[in-house]
Amino acid sequence: MDPFSKAYNLLWECLESNRDWRTSVKIANRVSFTNSYHKDPRKIAALTADRPTVGIMPFGAKPQLGISSNTDIWVDTHRIILVTGTLNVKDELNPLKWEIIRSFKSWVDKFKNLYLDELPTYNYVVDFKMPSYSQMPFNEVDNLTIVGWVAYFNVEIRMKLPSSVISP
């Protein structure tokens, strides 16, 4: 499997390994861009009363190719999106924000076991950051009346990729 898909899957594993997060967000309300059991991402705004919903969206990258003759750096970025069903921050927003932070606190233990298929002893993830977070209340999405919060956790996964593996 390619290194990007492995990292994306591991983001979900980090969340789903947290029992408190798992019990707060129904499986049907986990929005994934894979063909797994999670909800279709096009339906994130479809359910007005069925909240909270959490999704992980690939958001871009910061490539640093050719950084040396034998190494390339790729910083894969993702956005974790939390949508609540209430404006009361104590009901969903703050408790789930806490559980998402807790889920990624132990990233080292989870990401240190990601290896390239081509080099099964080479750990390619060198850093994980959550550099920014934002939240705002909202009342309308796609002409549906939804009252709640939307929160964005921006995540960066820094990968050190050997040029020998990248070269065709």
Span 104-131, pLDDT tens digits: 887 767 887 888 988 888 889 998 889 9
Name the E strands within the chain: 30-31, 53-64, 71-83, 125-141, 144-162
Given this model, what pLDDT does residue 144 score?
Answer: 56
pTM of structure: 0.85
Which CATH number characterizes residue 139's domain? 3.30.2000.10
Helix/strand/coil for 125: strand
Query: Domain total for the chain?
Result: 1
State residue 74's pLDDT score: 92
What is residue 140's predicted lDDT score, i.e. its pLDDT? 54
Percent of the chain with pLDDT over 70: 86
Instruction: Output the pLDDT for position 89.
Output: 94
Could you list the residue range(s) of the whole structural domain that residue 28 is in? Answer: 3-166
For 67, which DSSP code? S
10-residue averages of pLDDT along the chain (168 residues)? 92 92 89 66 55 90 86 93 91 95 82 87 90 84 68 94 84
Three-class secondary structure of residue 92 per DSSP = coil
Q: What is the pLDDT of residue 9?
A: 92
